[in-house]
Structure formats: C-alpha cells, structure tokens
Amino acid sequence: MAVHRGISDAAAATDVRPGLRPCQELERIIQELPTSVTAFNKLFIAVGRSRTDSSSTVRDADVLTVSLFNRMVRAGSSKVAPDMCTNSIVIGCCCHFGRLDLGFAVFGKILKLGRRVNTIFLNQLVKDLCDVKRMSKAMYIVVRRMREFRYMPDVVSYNTLVKVLCGAKRSQEALDLLHMMLEDEGKQAVTVQIW
C-alpha cells in the first residue's frame, strides 16, 4: 500500500529497524521523534506524498496525517506544538478527505489561539477549497476575509481562482476577478498565468 511506502520512506530518514511492519515503524517514529515541529511536518509531508490515484489510498493518507496531528496536539506543548505549516497541511488533508468542517475547525482554533495567519496560509486554504470544488467559499476568502485579516489578496490568490473559474467555463467571472485584481494591485506589476 502506498501509505505504508510513504511511511517507510519517512522512517528510512530516521534509521528504520529491519523486520518492523510499517505501522510498527510509524509507532516507533512517533515515540522517537525529537521535540521538533519540523520533524512532524516532514513526516506529514512524506505521508501526504504517498498518495496515489486510488481514492481509498488518498483518503487513507489524509486520515493518517490528521490522526498523527491529533496525537501531536494531545501530547501538548510539553513535547511540540503545531505551527502554521503543520496546520496548513492538516487543513489540506481534511479538505481532501471530504471533511471541510474539520479543516475549518482547525482554522477556527488557530484564530481562537490568537495566531496571525498570513497570505501564504490563506492561499493554501483557497487552493484546498478549489481542489474540492468549493469555489464560493474560496471566492469569499479572497474577496472578503483576507482583507479582514489585513492582507490583500496577491497574484497567487487571484491566479488560483482564475484557473479554476476558467476550468469550470466561468470565463466572465474570471475576467471580473482579473479586473478586481488590477484595482487591488494598483501601480504594482501584475502577473497573470495563462493556462
């Protein structure tokens, strides 16, 4: 199974012991990981990259990542606390396995803890929403919510939406969005990627 291969690859980077099954490897890695959020993020990314075209394997990889995240959070700040990169990975996984509500719960927790989100984090959220065909929510974040967080949508925000709108044959909306981008960017150089 591809998930186990990804776990094995992650384990290989941390000195795999021969003879262990992938689940045992994972348990050992979790117990032996240093108190570093970077190590967890690398593990999450390795599990995420183990996805294949098989929808069940994709779901398994995303569910496993969220499960690992829950363990990390339960361990508390005494071990390691998730950072914005960790949260972004987990929100993406929640979106991919169809639990947008859990993704927004993580997002709400970030805001409740008083952490500041940045444009990169919000752009990833917009991309995740577009990936699961939640265009209206993605548009709402770019057009309204980013400004509430005192961030202006950037070229990445707009390009993500324009690509999805064009792919959905909603070219007039894409054109309207480009006009909005030109107004927001003002005198700055505007770059639009053509697909």
Mean pLDDT by 10 residues, the chain (195 residues): 37 41 58 71 78 62 81 71 87 83 88 86 88 89 85 86 90 88 63 54
Establish how many alpha carbons lie within 13 A of residue 134's alpha carbon, considering only the half-sphere containing its beta carbon. Answer: 20
Task: Mark residue 19 as left, alpha or beta (left: phi above 0; alpha: psi -120 to 50; beta: remaining).
Answer: left
What are the angstrom distances between the C-alpha of 11 and each of 39, 66, 83, 121? 11, 18, 22, 28
Handedness of CA 136, 160, 87, 109 (dihedral sign): negative
What are the angstrom distances between the C-alpha of 94 and each of 54, 63, 65, 90, 103? 17, 8, 9, 6, 5
C-beta separation of 117 from 84 below 8 A: yes
Angle CA(120)–CA(126)–CA(130) in degrees, nearest 5?
145
What amino acid is encoded at 123 in this protein? N
Rounded Cα gap, residues 71 and 169, in angstroms:
42
Rounded Cα gap, residues 138 and 55, in angstroms:
23
What pLDDT shows up at residue 18?
A: 46
C-beta separation of 98 from 132 below 8 A: yes
Rounded Cα gap, residues 169 and 149, in angstroms:
30
What pLDDT shows up at residue 181?
A: 81
φ, ψ dihedrals at 138, nearest 5°: -65, -45
Rounded Cα gap, residues 22 and 61, in angstroms:
13
Q: What's the pTM?
A: 0.69
